[in-house]
Amino acid sequence: MNIAVLLAAGNGERFGGYKQFERIGGRMVYTYPLSVLQETGIFQRIVLVLPSEKHFELIEESVEKIVGGSTRQESSRIATEYLQKTGVVEEDLVLIHDAVRPFLTREGIFRVLDAAEKNGAATVGRYSTDTVYFAGETITLLNREKVFLAETPQVFRFGLLKKGHEAAVRDGYRTTDDISLVLRMGVKPQLVVSDWFNMKITTRRDLELFKLLLKNGIRSKLQ
C-alpha cells in the first residue's frame, strides 16, 4: 500500500501566519501539492496533518485529517503513530511532503517512490551550486559537490520510519526532516535530484515568488 502524509501543521512563525492556508490563484497553498497527490491515483490513503481541529473546517477535500504537534518532527511522529493504529504495515511505503512546497510533480513522486521501493528510504533534494561554508566557531569551506540539500517528498518503508521515530524519542534526538531519523540508524537513503522549482514557502518573499511563477504558467509546465 502507498500512503501519503501532507504536513500542514506549522504555525508559520517566520512567515507571520499560516502560510499553508494563504489563498493564491483562487485556492489555498496546501491544495497545490494535495491535488497532485490525488491525481496520481497511486495512494490508497492521504493524511493531512493540521494545526488544530478548528482547521478541519477549512478542508473541502476528501482526505483523512489529524492534528499535528508543535514541531515538524512531532507532527511526523504523530502521523506515524496514527498510521500504525490504523492498519499500516511495515512494508507499506509512506510518502511525507511539506504542504508549503506547492510545486510537487507527478514525475518527482514516481521517482522517489521507486527509489524507496528499492532502498527502503529516499529523499528528493539538490546538490549545492553555491560555495558552502560551515559557520561554527571556525569557518570551514565544504566541498559543494558533496553537499546535498534535502527537500520533500521523502519516502520510507513504514517499519523504518516507525523505528526512526521511536529511537528519536528514546534518545531525545531533534531534527528538521525525516531522513535523518533513519540515517542515524545506519540506513543509507537514496538521493533523488529534484526539479529546480521545488521551492518551499518560508517567508513573505517566497510567497511573492510563488505568485510570480504561477502567473507565468510554470505549474502547467511541470509534470
**What does the block give as the cell for 93?**
511505503
Residue 196: pLDDT over 90: no
**Percentages helix, strand, coil for the chain, rounded to the nearest 5?**
40, 25, 35
* Three-class SS state of 219: helix
Q: Helices 158-171 and 72-85: crossing angle, nearest 10°?
A: 130
Cα separation, 79 vs 7, in Å, equals 9
> What would the pLDDT profile of 122-176 be if each residue is shown by its tens digit?
999 999 999 999 999 999 999 999 999 999 999 999 999 999 999 999 999 999 9
Contacting residues for 76 by C-beta, under 8 A, at least 6 apart: 5, 7, 49, 96, 165, 178
Preceding omega of 153 cis (within 30 degrees of 0): yes
> Other C-beta atoms within 10 Å of 169: how many?
12
Confidence of residue 214 (pLDDT cuts 50, 70, 90): confident
Identify the pLDDT of residue 217: 79
Q: Which CATH number fits domain 2-123+151-221: 1.10.490.10, 3.40.50.720, 3.90.550.10, 3.30.70.260?
A: 3.90.550.10
pLDDT confidence tier of residue 15, bands split at 50, 70 and 90: confident
> Over the stretch 23-42, which tens digit does the pLDDT of each residue have?
998 999 999 999 999 999 99
Single pTM value for the model: 0.94
- The domain ranges of the chain are 2-123+151-221
